[in-house]
Amino acid sequence: WDFIEQIKTLMVYDSFFQHFFFCLPTENEPITVISATYGRSDQTTCSNGIPDDQTKNTNCAMKANLVVQRYRASGQFLCPVFVSSSVFGDPCVGTYKYLEVKYICESSLPEEKSLVACEGAVARLHCAEGQAIYVTSASYGRTNKKTCSAGRPADQLENTECYTYREEVGERCNGKQWCKVRASNYVFGNPCYGTYKYLEVEYICYGEFRLSLH
């Protein structure tokens, strides 16, 4: 079985109701969360009946660390989640948001790798021979004053609420042994003018890692 084909996706609209994602008992393996984001990255998801001015901001997403930390290796087959800005924080006031969770029914994942490429530099993702890349998270912008700060004036580092989660890295790199992506406004757009940005990527290498048939 191919790893990517086994990934399940849960999309849940912003509400105060409890939702669940699950693995069937016949799959014989518990949930392992690969990634989770909260916000909005397109205008169509969870948009039915929602005013246009609440879906137009598509640079509104943040990593839902609470879900990742709680359920990455929980051993559970059924996981509850509440979807609300009171739970995750509000990355964009006035925008109608949703939670996107990607997970597999397997007890563990390969070790996650991470890298940072400063604006203008090239991010190089690489896996060993016989393995392939799967991007679990990629963000472009700035979330602290320290990363990629050498030689930069203070006014280019002030805005630390400047980030956007991007799917372009996964679209370019998933399934390849190696891949490179330039950290630039041309590739990812400019989430904050005047701020010196960086690309932060987290990924796993799969290949020998295979879901077993039961």
Q: Do domains 3-108 and 111-207 have the same CATH topology?
A: yes
Pick the CATH number of 111-207 from 2.60.120.740, 1.10.3370.10, 3.30.565.60, 2.60.40.60: 2.60.120.740
Distance CA 78, CA 62 (A): 24
Q: Where are the alpha helices (DSSP H) in the chain?
A: 65-71, 85-88, 168-173, 185-188
* Cα separation values, 197 from 130, 155, 166, Å: 33, 12, 14
Q: What is the pLDDT of residue 159?
A: 94
Q: What is the pLDDT of residue 208?
A: 54
Section 100-129 average pLDDT: 92
Give pLDDT tens digits for 137-174: 999 999 999 999 999 999 999 999 888 888 889 999 99
The residue extents of the domains of the chain are 3-108, 111-207
pTM over 0.95: no
CATH entry 3.40.50.2000 includes domain 3-108: no
Q: With pLDDT > 70 as the criterion, what percentage of the chain qualifies?
A: 95
